[in-house]
Amino acid sequence: MKRIVIIALAVLVAVCATAQAQDLKPVKDKNTKLFGYQDKDKNWVIEPAYTAAKRFKEGLAEVTIKPGKTKFHGIIDETGRTIIPTECTSVSVNYKERLIMAERPARFGDFFLWGVYDFEGNELFEPYFISAPSFYNGKGVAKSGETGFKGVIDTQGNVLIPFENLAITQEYGGYAVLTSQFERCTYDSRMNKASVFPYPGYVAPYDPKGDLIRAAAWHVGPIGYRFHRNSLKEARLTQDARGRIAVCSDLRIDWGYNRFVRFEPDVDAGGHPGSLQDPESGRLYTIKAFLCEADGSPVSEISSWGWIEGTANEGIIYNAEGRETWMLMHDLNAPAIPSFTSPLTFYRHADMTSIYSELGLHAYDVERLYEPYRAANRFEEIVQGENAGITAAMPRPAPDLRTARTIEQAMRAPIFQAPFTVGQVVNCNVKHKGGEVEIELFDKLVCHFEDRFEDPYYSFNGDSEIFWGPNNARAVWLSLECVRKDPKCIHDDVTGSELDFVMVIGLYEEDGSFLQALGVVPAPDYYTNGVLVFEPLGIAILVDTPAQNPALGKGRDKQGFVTTDESRLPLNLSALHQIHYPRADKSRSPGYRRGR
């Protein structure tokens, strides 16, 4: 009996203490204009010291000070004891998990990152995360403030999934993960890795190596781009009455199959000729060239030092170790021939004042990366930009046999029976003018990708120029895939299946293997004068050849214009069956279709 009384008294004391805490109210002192907390008798329990204060909840309140123009937040308990110092730009309390997330000064720089703390103020994770981790059932997805990659942590201060991933989403009590190497992994509820599926076409990206100049220089000038055999040549510069000329020939390296060269700025400890200084750090940099396999893995260093001599409309001139001059062609799909002569129009000598001027950078481009948010976003951008369009290459769920037969029958239209090759797939710009549509055609292939992982909050996009292969022999094929009923998609009015379809534009290797999805669209937008137009993608396919249709222009590097009225292509299969493709090569089509 005595024991029961003691327990009851303890509970009563706890309830009273909680009630007292709940009775504390934030009050503004008339003299100091600062906030403190008073009890129900208007006695100061916590002296006025804050520019703003909130009510207590479960024994905690958020308080604010403003020493200058910036507000800083913290958390106290009902006795006034500091739980989280008022040095945070933001705080968030998860009452269910009994955790505090606070954005406060990081230990490795003059900036703010998010840390995780318990209700006593004990640090579970130091300020390290770009955003407040989102916890559920004792586990939380968090984003690194150093790399921008995601991982999974728990409320005990453990890292369950390393910070090496682009996207993480909950799935059946576990997690589905897209790694930075574009592998799809699944973890079960016990955090055991259950399966790994590599994404086809992944390329190991350009590596900034934590160097901000390297990160800022990616895709500036020649840095970080992939140069293939077609677009990288040894060059001998001459001059005649018409101007400067580059006599180009094959570079004497082992190109293997689909290997490429990447140019990267790197710290030059040896101080080679042409090395240039970083005006901020004083470090010397040179520009190296690396030969890589098709998947981005390094093969060898083919120029350990060098510099950019000049630029022209046709490309960039690079000096390799003071012994050879190379021409870096702007046209990724330059003709696949061993040698040729190229004029250099508007040739300009490079400004070799510093590594910034050499690369075309500004101090601001580097300085902004000292902020962890921007640096992490840049590192993500590099990984994603090198692999735009990859997740779109994942096959959709396999249809049943009946649906598969329906798709096969629906794809008997001529446009599905033959490849479209270099010069037939171009960019387009669609302009709407008073009831008419003007379609301007460009003889390139730069695609805008939008890729999504299953996590609806994760998506990335970018523009990527498509490489037609070392022999310009890759091809684009069109195909259909079933979707749920959608009035914006292609309706089956041919086979009577009552199915709807989307159209997939796929790039295939010479041997018929599938490489990459260039786009998945509900339907083509226009077909006019031999041109099939996909307006959202900015892509047009020339179903007729330029010889058959003078409006398309003649030869490479030409532009054409076609016009039509505003009426769009009907959203049904019979409309696609009316598009005639005179050069259909049915002998190649089955292998390419099976590649999908």
Q: Over the stretch 508-517, which tens digit does the pLDDT of each residue have?
A: 988 888 888 8
Average pLDDT over residues 394-422: 82
Using DSSP, state whether 158 is helix, strand or coil: coil
Q: Which of 170-179, 449-458, 509-518, 532-541 holds the top average pLDDT? A: 532-541
Distance CA 451, CA 253 (A): 35
Residues 454, 506 within the same domain = yes
Positive or negative: CA dihedral 251, 254, 256, 261: negative
Residue 17: the pLDDT is 47
Average pLDDT over residues 6-20: 47
* Rg of the chain in Å (alpha carbons): 31
Residues 453, 552 within the same domain = yes
Residues 590, 458 within the same domain = yes
Residue 557: the pLDDT is 38
Residue 397: the pLDDT is 61
- Regarding beta strands 526-528 and 514-521, do their DSSP bridges make them parallel or antiparallel, or are they unpaired? unpaired
Q: Kindly tell me if the per-residue pLDDT of 553 is higher than 60.
A: no
Residue 111 lies in a domain: no
User: φ and ψ at 169, to 5 degrees?
Assistant: -135, 145
Residue 382: the pLDDT is 92
Residue 576: the pLDDT is 92
Report the alpha-carbon angle 370-372-377, nearest 5: 110
Q: Kindly tell me if the per-residue pLDDT of 540 is higher than 50.
A: yes
- Identify the residue with better confidence: 337 or 324: 324
Range of weakest confidence among 72-81, 258-267, 484-493, 511-520: 511-520
Q: Which amino acid is at 210?
A: G
CB 177 within 8 A of CB 322: no
Q: Exposed, middle or buried by CB within 10 Å (0-12, 13-18, 19+), for 354?
A: middle
Range of weakest confidence among 117-126, 235-244, 300-309, 331-340: 331-340
Residues 319, 411 within the same domain = no
Residue 469: the pLDDT is 86
Residue 399: the pLDDT is 65
Residues 245, 343 within the same domain = yes
Residue 34 lies in a domain: no
Residue 131 lies in a domain: no
Residue 5: the pLDDT is 46
Range of weakest confidence among 14-28, 181-195, 397-411, 443-457: 14-28
Scanning the structure block, which residue is given the tokens 């589905």? 176
Residue 141: the pLDDT is 94
- Identify the residue with better confidence: 335 or 521: 521
Q: Kindly tell me if the per-residue pLDDT of 478 is higher than 90.
A: yes
Residue 140 lies in a domain: no
Distance CA 54, CA 107 (A): 28
The residues near 79 (Cβ < 8 Å, ≥ 6 apart) are 46
| Ramachandran assignment for 8, one of left (phi > 0), alpha (psi -120 to 50 degrees), beta (any other) | alpha
Residue 92 lies in a domain: no
Name the E strands within 268-359. Answer: 276-277, 284-292, 298-303, 306-312, 315-320, 324-329, 339-343, 348-349
Q: What percent of the chain has pLDDT over 90?
A: 56
Q: Kindly tell me if the per-residue pLDDT of 8 is higher than 60.
A: no
Domain end marker among 317, 345, 362: 362
Residue 130 lies in a domain: no
Distance CA 421, CA 410 (A): 23
- Identify the residue with better confidence: 549 or 421: 421
- Give the model confidence (pLDDT) of 418-438 as tens digits: 899 988 999 999 999 888 899
Q: Kindly tell me if the per-residue pLDDT of 284 is higher than 90.
A: yes
Residues 351, 415 within the same domain = no
Distance CA 394, CA 389 (A): 10
Distance CA 124, CA 113 (A): 14
Q: How confident is the model at residue 394 (pLDDT cuts 50, 70, 90)?
A: low
Average pLDDT over residues 71-90: 96
Q: Kindly tell me if the per-residue pLDDT of 20 is higher than 70.
A: no
Scanning the structure block, which residue is given the tokens 């350009």? 206
Name the E strands within 66-148. Answer: 72-77, 82-88, 90-94, 99-105, 112-118, 123-129, 134-136, 139-143
Of 447, 360, 421, 373, nearest in space to 109 by CA: 373
Q: How many domains does the chain have?
A: 2
Average pLDDT over residues 512-528: 88
Residue 484: the pLDDT is 80
CA-to-CA separations, 53 to 25, 69, 81, 201, 329, in angstroms, rounded: 9, 17, 14, 54, 62
Task: Copy the structure tokens of residue 450.
Answer: 């939008």
Residue 107: the pLDDT is 78
Average pLDDT over residues 330-341: 85
Residue 101 lies in a domain: no
Name the E strands within 492-545. Answer: 500-508, 514-521, 526-528, 531-534, 539-542
Range of weakest confidence among 160-164, 390-394, 521-525: 390-394
CA-to-CA separations, 302 to 98, 252, 290, 469, in angstroms, rounded: 56, 10, 6, 22
Distance CA 58, CA 64 (A): 19
Distance CA 114, CA 127 (A): 5
Positive or negative: CA dihedral 240, 245, 249, 253: positive
Using DSSP, state whether 212 is helix, strand or coil: helix
Of 76, 32, 30, 20, nearest in space to 53 by CA: 76
Please, which residues bridge with residue 164 across strands? Answer: none
Residue 306: the pLDDT is 97
Task: Copy the structure tokens of residue 139.
Answer: 């586990």
Q: Which of 59-63, 405-409, 439-443, 457-461 holds the top average pLDDT? A: 59-63
Q: How confident is the model at residue 338 (pLDDT cuts 50, 70, 90)?
A: confident
Distance CA 164, CA 166 (A): 7
Q: Kindly tell me if the per-residue pLDDT of 395 is higher than 80.
A: no
Residue 423: the pLDDT is 86
Task: Copy the structure tokens of residue 508.
Answer: 């295939």
Distance CA 328, CA 316 (A): 5
Q: How confident is the model at residue 92 (pLDDT cuts 50, 70, 90)?
A: very high
Average pLDDT over residues 399-410: 83
550: number of Cβ within 10 Å: 10
Residue 156 lies in a domain: no
Range of weakest confidence among 132-136, 265-269, 454-458, 507-511: 454-458
- Identify the residue with better confidence: 262 or 530: 262
Helices and strands counted in the chain (H then E): 8, 41
Residue 86: the pLDDT is 96
Please, which residues bridge with residue 303 across strands? Answer: 289
Of 171, 584, 216, 211, nearest in space to 413 by CA: 584
- Identify the residue with better confidence: 130 or 561: 130
Residues 306, 348 within the same domain = yes
- Identify the residue with better confidence: 173 or 538: 538
Residues 311, 442 within the same domain = no
User: φ and ψ at 355, to 5 degrees?
Assistant: -65, -25
Q: Exposed, middle or buried by CB within 10 Å (0-12, 13-18, 19+), for 117?
A: buried
Residues 514, 590 within the same domain = yes
| Ramachandran assignment for 63, one of left (phi > 0), alpha (psi -120 to 50 degrees), beta (any other) | beta
Residues 260, 319 within the same domain = yes
Q: How confident is the model at residue 63 (pLDDT cuts 50, 70, 90)?
A: very high
What is the domain range of residue 242?
212-362
Residues 473, 579 within the same domain = yes
For all residues of the chain together, what is the average pLDDT? 86
Cα separation of the two ends of the chain? 77
Distance CA 253, CA 295 (A): 18
Of 121, 129, 172, nearest in space to 150 by CA: 129
Residues 347, 396 within the same domain = no
Distance CA 18, CA 37 (A): 15
Q: How confident is the model at residue 582 (pLDDT cuts 50, 70, 90)?
A: low
Distance CA 334, CA 331 (A): 5
Using DSSP, state whether 584 is helix, strand or coil: coil
Average pLDDT over residues 284-290: 97
